[in-house]
Structure 1
């Protein structure tokens, strides 16, 4: 994978659905400069990346299961110690040095390091001001490690997650408690969200160019009912259905979330991963 080479061939949403083909970008080669990510591809797989892969294979047991607290601690310990070079991302990449903000809504790119039925390892690249809008992770446990950059994260948990169904269509607003509304700068601790807690519905806004390593178990799968839904949030004080028992003071920690159709700016560019490859040893 090389961000500098602009290997963006297809546009997909967060479920991996292809939307359109776009042209490859052309860049002039610089003398005596080997693409840092391409150079890393030939090297042996970093110890931490291999440890992460092997631990994920042990921890994630398929749909309907949630890692134990001990397993969560193990994965967080590994991820907390990882740096961008562990996945072939040199700190010298021009992508991370870009200071100007692109006009309009910069597109997010992603690449998949590894994927199976039980889990996936993915990298997301957000240029400055790029946004991944509010979306959920139905039935999933997700570990997010900010490798590079500064990012604003807002996340919610539904106040009543029972019978939460992804219809793919607009729905009535539902009460949600805010889990996070903060700015994070790498290096920072790994964040963890669970099927019904930990900020399962979240949005990312890049303040500077960012790279995020996500461990998702199990991955999105529309066929298995794990389709991505998108949301619009409205302050709690702006709406009232007369059925909640949230006090005025508590209302500052709550919002109404309305399921919406997939925003156009949520489409992502897929790039090829050319970094270190994990080794699938027999378990």
Structure 2
């Protein structure tokens, strides 16, 4: 297929297929190559132009009843595009006020692109300590990001040990997030998703304050989210891939 007629999602797949491997090693050049393609993705490239247009109406001061703008289910939906042993591509469509709780991507690099809408992102990295802290299932983490992002904007890159690998999204408006995971989740290989919540805990020794040099940090504990938190698998209706 000539590059002039290749769809944007096909270009993204080609960039991932060339640059990513199942062993998880990822060069800065590979990240830049994929991010350059990902940053160019628009709602129409992934079959979401109608939803993006609805958000523009939703944001309008003249939108008297925002609930009538979106007629679909209020559930968070995941539109799967592609997955192999090296990477996965998919889109999360999140209704306004819905939350994807704090979760991690162990041993994985994540590239996230906000396709449309506005979301609040809060992300953390684990703090490694050499001192015995008797943490059991509670671990200290430092804040990496805490703020809003609105489309159009550049993609976020979360590395296994830095960049905010543990993160949560809250949709301020309806929004969609295109995720590339490399390598993808795999329980067989020890890469499974865990959820976390803030846990009150003190640091009387000052160990963490010294290690983080005064940066904000909190304690996180693993937990099971409530049954009401559901992500439904939805049909991807955008341009397909030629593998």
TM-score of the superposed pair, with normalisation by structure 2: 0.83
- Tell me what 1:16 maps to: none
In structure 2, relative to structure 1, the CA distance for the partners of 1:233 and 1:209 (3 Å cut) is same
- Tell me what 1:116 maps to: 84
Q: How many residue pairs are counted as aligned between the two chains?
A: 224
TM-score of the superposed pair, with normalisation by structure 1: 0.72
Structure 2 unaligned regions, length at least 5: 59-65
Q: 1:159 aligns with which of 110, 127, 151?
A: 127
- Tell me what 2:160 maps to: 195
Structure 1 unaligned regions, length at least 5: 1-44, 163-169
1:106-255 correspondence runs (5 A): 106-160=74-128, 171-234=136-199, 238-240=201-203, 242=205, 244-247=207-210, 250-251=213-214, 253-255=216-218
Q: 1:56 aligns with which of 16, 21, 27?
A: 16
Cα distance in 2 between the residues matched to 1:142 and 1:247: 29
- Tell me what 1:75 maps to: 34
Q: Which runs of 4+ in 1 moved over 4 A?
A: 92-95, 247-252
Partner secondary structure for residue 264 of structure 1: coil
Cα distance in 1 between the residues matched to 2:22 and 2:90: 18
Partner secondary structure for residue 192 of structure 1: strand
Cα distance in 2 between the residues matched to 1:159 and 1:129: 30
Cα distance in 2 between the residues matched to 1:53 and 1:201: 25
Partner secondary structure for residue 199 of structure 1: coil
Partner secondary structure for residue 266 of structure 1: coil
Deviation at 1:71, TM superposition (A): 0.7
Q: 1:100 aligns with which of 67, 72, 78?
A: 67
Q: CA RMSD in A?
A: 2.8
